[in-house]
Amino acid sequence: MFSPATHKEILPGSTIGILGSGQLGRMLALAARPSGYRIHVFSPERDTPAGQVADLEMCAAYDDLDAVRAFARGVDVVTYEFENVPANTAVACQQFAPLRPGPQALHIAQNRLREKTFFVENGLPTAPFAAVHSLADLHNGLAEIGCPAVLKTAVSGYDGKGQIKIMHPDEAAAAWLAAGQVDCILEGWVEFERELSVVAARGLDGRFAHYGVIENSHAHHILDVSQAPADVPTAVPAQAIEMVRTVMEALDVVGVLCVEFFLTGDGRLLLNEMAPRPHNSGHLTIEACITSQFEQQCRAVCGLPLGDTRYRQPAAMANLLGDLWFSQRRETTGGRAETQRKEPDWTAVLRLPNIKVHLYGKREARPGRKMGHLTALANSVDEAERMVREARALLGN
């Protein structure tokens, strides 16, 4: 049985266990490899992005606690690459190996209402919000917050899923039905100027490191392009970074965590949500920084000194969604658009000397599914953004 007092540094050559087996687990595994760490992954699926590069891919349901305990017995530390790991799974792992970040961060991040409440209790600014457990709660929340507002399911939902914009109180009943009549949070609509994120790490010794402020743009509620450093007023980075430090210290996080912010037109920062793991907006750190967010996660969860987070150059990252694998053609009869599968033009992009291609090994491309990303480094952020957007456009030609 694991005893916290006997586990400090987990040295190279040890085994890291990852709950979840998507692209974040894949990139963590690849970052840990150069230091000689072995990787075991646990998820309900086979031939996964992380499983393809792991030493062991254990396939079982997250609620199969006997399998979870067997997995935890075979590793030296456990981390997770997505925050919807069931609480019982995390607790079962913690009986046999250190779990980093700990279960408290997981618990808070799994529920939007708990998350916003946690922010406010720690003196951090958010959009106005109200708990919604019934249609009556929704009507009361709209009367208090006003319209427009956004109704979000309290659990699950990502990339815009489980979110309904309400423009008028008369839309409340339809929105409640669309949300599935489950526990929700109602948030006031924010007229933001920019969307920002801060990816940071905290070590077992409490030391803190960050990657500055990253600027993000979204398309159809999915992260589209990230660039760093963000073009924001001088005071903003220090404020955002201190807010993230507050979050990590309050949760006693050991590992990497990202906080997403809205920056309003009058210069206010509002915390939107957090993820206690490496983050999509931090993928550009693989090429741009001396220590990537994934190497940093490895260092932090293993109790090692945190790495240097300085940027080599300004950078931009563009997501590659499954839509790139499909084209539409117009039928000559009937006027019906038919979708056809195609392969993106990788050769066109690989000719570009300053573009890096990352593909996640997912077997099936679907519209809206994150299949990979491109990264560009340049002498300025604007140049990096232009390069990465132009490179991505070549894939669809």
Q: What is the pLDDT of residue 342?
A: 86
Q: What is the pLDDT of residue 8?
A: 79
Q: Cβ(376)–Cβ(391) under 8 Å?
A: yes
Helical residues (DSSP H) of 84-212, grouped into ranges: 87-94, 103-109, 112-121, 135-145, 172-178
**pTM greater than the 0.85 cutoff:** yes
Residue type, 70: A
pLDDT tens digits, the chain, 397 residues: what are they?
Answer: 665 544 579 999 999 999 999 999 999 999 999 999 999 999 999 999 999 999 999 999 999 999 999 999 999 999 999 998 998 999 999 999 999 999 999 999 999 999 999 999 999 999 999 999 999 999 999 999 999 999 999 997 665 567 999 999 999 999 999 999 999 999 999 999 999 999 999 999 999 999 999 999 999 889 999 999 999 999 999 999 999 999 999 999 999 999 999 999 999 999 999 999 999 999 999 999 999 999 999 999 999 999 999 999 999 999 999 999 987 655 555 566 667 778 999 999 999 999 999 999 999 999 999 999 999 999 999 999 999 999 999 998 5
Instruction: Report how far residue 300's alpha carbon sits from residue 124's, in angstroms, rounded to the nearest whole number.
Output: 25
Q: 131: helix, coil or strand?
A: strand
Q: Among 3.40.630.30, 3.30.70.1050, 3.30.470.20, 3.40.50.1980, what is the CATH number of 192-395?
A: 3.30.470.20
Fold classified for 128-188: Dna Ligase; domain 1 (3.30.1490)
Question: For strand 255-264 and strand 208-219, is the pairing parallel, antiparallel, or unpaired?
Answer: unpaired
Q: What is the pLDDT of residue 329?
A: 57
Instruction: Report how far residue 261's alpha carbon sits from residue 237's, in angstroms, rounded to the nearest whole number.
Output: 11
- Per-domain residue ranges for the chain? 4-99, 128-188, 192-395
The arrangement of secondary structure in 4-99, i.e. its CATH architecture, is 3-Layer(aba) Sandwich (3.40)
Q: What is the pLDDT of residue 161?
A: 66
**Displacement of CA 393 from its chain's centroid (Å):** 24
Q: What is the pLDDT of residue 3?
A: 57
Instruction: Report how far residue 121's alpha carbon sits from residue 113's, in angstroms, rounded to the nearest whole number.
Output: 12
Q: What is the pLDDT of residue 1?
A: 60
